[in-house]
Amino acid sequence: MASPKEFHGWLGRDNKAAEGNMTWSSFEPKPFNAIDVDIKISHCGICGSDIHTLRSGWKSTRYPVCVGHEIVGHVVRVGDQVKHLKAGDRVGVGAQAFACLECEDCKAGLEQHCSRMVGTYNGKYPDGSLSMGGYADYARVPAHFTIKIPGELKSEDAAPMMCGGVTVYSPLKKNGAGPGKRVGIVGLGGLGHFGVLFAKALGCEKVVVISRRRNKEKDAREMGADDFIATAEDEKWARKHAQSLDLIISTVSSPDMPLESYLRLLRTNGTFIQVGAPEDKLPRIGAYSLIQKGVKVGGSNIGSPKEIEEMLRFAAEKGVKPWVEQRSMKDANQSVVDMEDGKARYRYVLVNADQEDRAKL
């Protein structure tokens, strides 16, 4: 049981990487510290953030980059200071790899808001080394952000929960989703489909999917949605469904969204939480869209390690079953292109070929 000196992964080298131009190459992982673990990756989900990063959509990416932050695999090396993990454990890593663990946010269990947070890829650790993600054979990550996967969950199901799942689970919980609440989920992609599954599992009174077109309605209802709004096809949808929801979680990845119309769907004192992260600014909001019904607009960033743990336990207990399409790690380029074309139903998960080969561990 050991990890190699060099790791291998799909490296994006410029802002055309998301067009199918990543190359499988070796790279040197960060120096191994006493707080780190090495993970032999079996599965890695494809998150919308991977694509924003590959094409430098948010800001200039540090190329070469190896994206992927919905990682599941087995621990193969454990730093001396790591207490909660041992070699052979099946673990997951989400979008965050490091935080200071000393600041006000960290002490409050809000590591995802730490000003020194380092993402699982395209980030810089305090020692200057770069974080590299999960479209790879191995990952090296501080153990604080490495979470044990409950035995009931399959690896391919747990992987996309590490980012996509917790990013909607966290704001649903924080904003009181449960019995008696009517919840809307905007955008039925990877995050959105988790929104429906978790809102239903939490016992919400009504879950409504707000999508652009009707083509995903059958799937949405199969996931448990009680109603479906197609904003590009239903005439007068905003008026028809006005004041019908307590909470809306928006996973929309484009700035081109009818934001004020979404707000019309809220009841008095309702809450709208944006988790989708468009590359351009959100649309302008007229003051009266907020004032008239006393609505609140906010955001939410992934989830803390504790929340990830809680979500995994909840998913195992409730039998939450994501809709994943497994693809070979070899097909990462085509899978990224297909994801960008909106073809995923509803999360691609890359699988390393030798993932069943536990003998090598």
Ligand X SMILES: NC(=O)c1ccc[n+]([C@@H]2O[C@H](COP(=O)([O-])OP(=O)(O)OC[C@H]3O[C@@H](n4cnc5c(N)ncnc54)[C@H](OP(=O)(O)O)[C@@H]3O)[C@@H](O)[C@H]2O)c1
Contact residues toward Zn ion (CB under 5 A) are: 47, 49, 95, 99-100, 103, 106, 114, 163
For residue 254, the minimal CB distance to ligand X (Å) is: 3
CA 100 to chain centre: 22
Beta bridge partners of 148: 91
- Residue 103 or 337: which CB sits closer to Zn ion? 103
Cβ pair 359, 70 in contact under 8 A: no
Q: Which is nearer to ligand X, 17 or 78 (CB)?
A: 17
**Distance (Å, rounded) from C-alpha 85 to C-alpha 93?**
13
Q: Taking the complex as a whole, how short is the minimal distance between the CB of residue 138 and Zn ion, in angstroms?
A: 20
CB of 196 to ligand X, least distance (A): 11
Going from the C-alpha of 92 to that of each of 99, 177, 319, the distances in angstroms are 17, 25, 18
Give the residue among 82, 80, 89 at the shortest CA–CA distance from 143: 82
Question: Within a 10 A sphere around the Cβ of 180, how many other Cβ atoms?
Answer: 10
Closest CA to 109 of 99, 119, 118: 99
Q: Which is nearer to ligand X, 25 or 309 (CB)?
A: 309
Residue 51 near residue 21 (C-beta atoms within 8 A)? no
- Name the binder of 184 from ligand X, Zn ion, none, CB < 5-8 A by kind: none
Closest by Cα among 122, 142, 143 to 132? 122
Element (H, E) at 337: helix 332-340
Please say whether the beta carbons of 151 and 159 come within 8 A. Answer: no
Minimum distance of ligand X from residue 65's CB (angstroms): 15
Looking at beta carbons only, is 47 or 263 nearer to Zn ion?
Answer: 47
Q: If you search the block for the tokens 């410029």, which residue do you land on?
A: 14
Which of Zn ion, ligand X, none interacts with 106 (beta carbon under 5 to 8 A by kind)?
Answer: Zn ion
Residue 316 interacting entry, from Zn ion, ligand X, none, C-beta within 5 to 8 Å by type: none
Output 255 or 294, the one with its CB closest to ligand X: 255
CA 61 vs CA 17, 64, 137, 246, 343: distances in Å: 11, 8, 22, 37, 25
Nearer to ligand X, 9 or 192 (CB): 192
State in angstroms the smallest separation of the CB of 96 from Zn ion. 10
Cα–Cα distance measured from residue 344 to residue 37, given in angstroms and rounded to the nearest whole number: 31
What is the smallest separation between the CB atom of 300 and ligand X, expressed in angstroms?
6
Nearest 5°: phi and psi at 250? -105, 120
CB closer to Zn ion out of 112 and 352: 112
117 binds, among Zn ion, ligand X, none (CB under 5 to 8 A by kind): none
Of the pair 270, 276, the CB lying nearest Zn ion is at: 276
Choose the one of ligand X, Zn ion, none that binds residue 216, judging by a C-beta under 5 to 8 angstroms depending on kind: ligand X
Minimum distance of ligand X from residue 344's CB (angstroms): 6
Interface with ligand X (CB under 6 A): 47-49, 52, 163-164, 167, 187-192, 211-212, 216, 251-254, 256, 275-277, 300-302, 342, 344
CA distance 314 to 361: 29
d(CA 351, CA 222): 26
Q: Tell me the three state secondary structure of residue 125.
A: coil
Q: Are 126 and 79 in contact (CB under 8 A)?
A: no
Tell me the sheet residues that pair with 230: 211
**To the nearest whole angstrom, how small is the minimum distance from the Cβ of residue 50 to Zn ion?**
7
Chosen from ligand X, Zn ion, none, partner binding at 42 (C-beta under 5 to 8 Å by type): none
The listed partner (Zn ion, ligand X, none) that binds 277, CB under 5 to 8 Å by sort, is: ligand X
Partner whose footprint covers residue 170, from ligand X, Zn ion, none (CB < 5 to 8 Å by kind) = none
Out of ligand X, Zn ion, none, what residue 188 binds, judged by CB under 5 to 8 A for its kind, is: ligand X
Distance in Å, CB of 283 to ligand X, minimum: 12
Between 75 and 349, whose beta carbon lies closer to ligand X?
A: 349
